[in-house]
Structure 1
Amino acid sequence: MNSMSTPFSLRIFVADGDPDGLRIVERFNASARAVVFPRALLPQVKARPELQQTGVYLLLGPRPDGEGELLYVGEGDPILPRLQDHQSKKDFWTRAIGFVAVGGLLNKAHVQFLEARLIALARAAKRVPLDNGNFPGEPTLSEADRADMEVFLAHMLGMLPVLGVHAFESAPAVAAKASPVLNCKGKGVLASGYEASQGFVVKAGSQAVKAVTPSFTQMAAACELRADLLKNGVLVEDGDALRFTQDYVFSAPSSASDIVLGGCTNGRLTWRDAQGRTLKELQTAEAGS
């Protein structure tokens, strides 16, 4: 699920004067309010009224076993006791983001619905591994409550990328007109992809090599990513190659071509359009036009 394309504005209040400290984030004319803070500040922010409300929250931090982030999605009625419990039981997280409704309008069923939807979106996107041990189903809501929570969720999903969280973003359905479909081929495989605001999208059905080069094995982040893609079923064996089962967003063109070709690559040179022009040539031409 991608955030809405309609322009919007956010108000970010730096509550303690530290840009890396406590921030209260609101979207104009919307009920969703985010409370963002590093773990170290939990003793100082626990008195915040938002944490005394019913809400949904995210815990983020480095993966203990490799590169990248780990994510936990939870709900609390109210939020604070859950965070205090995680303070003693979960070591990985370094920052938290809590979402509540202005006016305290969320109830237990609402946040259970939001939690279930966020977990489902993160599992579908397969961009950040989840620390959750359970994957709850959606509770029964009235038609009106469900509609309201879908709007609330959409507002959350629009705010999260601005806060540096991309775990719930799936690849755009189609390339933008300004982003032509590019190909990366070599070593008997062919992949197609395009640039997007989230990064570089490799399309479903694209191929990647089975055997990687010795230099690839020295690239810890790439090896970790490849292992995750195989584990999560984004890459599956298909004859003499691997195949992408879904559109997948990489952080950069080179990250994508590293996986496709199984080596250290320069994505700006390996991705080419139908006329053979490299991504670098296309970017240079566009910048000069």
Structure 2
Amino acid sequence: MSQPFSLKIFVATGDPDGLRIVERSNWIGKALVFPRGLLPSIKQRDEFAQTGIYILIGPRPDADGEMMYIGEGDPVKPRLESHYSNKDFWTRAVFFVAGPGHLNKAHVQFLEAQLIQRAKDAKRIRLENIKAENEPTLSEADRADMMVFLDHMLSMLPVLGISAFEIARTNTTESQKLTKLFCSGKGLKAEGYESNQGFIVKTNSQASGAITPSMRDQMRGILDLREDLISNGVLSKAGEDYVFTQDYSFSSPSTAASIVLGRSANGRTEWKDQKGRTLKEIQTLQAEA
């Protein structure tokens, strides 16, 4: 079960959109978050001279949505300087370091490999990394320490606006409290539910193989997402239509319904419970309770 934790955010430049230094309670690590344009003026800070693991985020050049690059540096400064000159896509960065002597080259290579694999498993954002990195061999004690470091990073990243590593999972206790919702049309049926991660569509749910002209012409973002889900195997061909091969988290019930139905859809009216009540009706009753 997830444990509560506190974060302390220091706005180092006085600009909320500038450099932020984020520390977690009772942890040796910390994160630095900053926009690309600020790198030349902050790279002399001591943290840039340390060994660390970094993530670059920016818009996809070919479509709506974002893409991401994961890397490591010993230290991080020359790697970020290289990406500043040679990688055009990224607009913001976050990197993690620890106190002196706590991280070495093998440690951050391990963290890099773990993050790349988790991003590939989650399939929520396009990776700019061409290949997966091989994990270095760590001692049993070092591996245990790095798994704790990784868990703390993963718990902080959604708070920092990066949800690319979150895999839709619900334990048995949680699932008993959730309202099962269904979306149907064109002979298809999908099951989903609302969660803290977004709107989750369940494994084996169906999605339309055909899309409407209006979706093709006016919903570029949804169309790009649909094509990504097909190319990365979240949606697998089943006859004329598709089936979800895993639980998948969408940003909203409307996005989920549009993918399922192959058209523009209002998720608050398309998703219904077993009694036929729409999500909008359910939420209205919950608000009045």
Q: Equivalent residue for 2:271?
A: 271
Contact 1:54 1:104 survives alignment (8 Å): no
Give the SS at the match of 1:180: coil
Match of 2:54 among 53, 57, 67: 57
Match of 2:119 among 105, 117, 122: 122
Contact 2:207 2:261 survives alignment (8 Å): yes
Q: Equivalent residue for 1:29?
A: 26
Give the SS at the match of 2:71: strand
Report the count of equivalent residues.
286
Quick one: higher RCO (CA 8 Å, sep 6+), 1 or 2?
1
Alignment of 1:1-289 (within 5 A): 5-174=2-171, 176-217=175-216, 218-289=218-289
Give the SS at the match of 1:161: coil
For 1:132 and 1:140, locate their aligned partners in 2 and report how far apart those are by CA, in whole Å.
21
For 1:203 and 1:197, locate their aligned partners in 2 and report how far apart those are by CA, in whole Å.
15
Q: Which runs of 5+ in 1 are unaligned?
A: none
For 1:11 and 1:281, locate their aligned partners in 2 and report how far apart those are by CA, in whole Å.
39
For 1:132 and 1:240, locate their aligned partners in 2 and report how far apart those are by CA, in whole Å.
33
Task: Calculate the aligned-residue CA RMSD, in Å.
Answer: 1.0
TM-score by length of 1: 0.97
Contact 1:53 1:104 survives alignment (8 Å): no
Q: CA deviation at 1:104?
A: 4.2
Which is worse superposed, 121-130 or 176-185? 176-185
* 4+ long deviations beyond 6 Å: none
For 1:102 and 1:273, locate their aligned partners in 2 and report how far apart those are by CA, in whole Å.
51
Give the SS at the match of 1:25: strand
For 1:150 and 1:129, locate their aligned partners in 2 and report how far apart those are by CA, in whole Å.
24
For 1:181 and 1:32, locate their aligned partners in 2 and report how far apart those are by CA, in whole Å.
39
Cα deviations by residue, 1:232-258 (Å, 9 ceiling, x for unpaired): 010011123200000000000000000
For 2:158 and 2:191, locate their aligned partners in 1 and report how far apart those are by CA, in whole Å.
25
Quickly say closer, same or farther: Cα 1:104–1:97, change in 2 above 3 A. farther
Q: CA deviation at 1:9?
A: 0.4
Give the percent of matched residue pairs that are identical in Structure 1 and Structure 2.
61
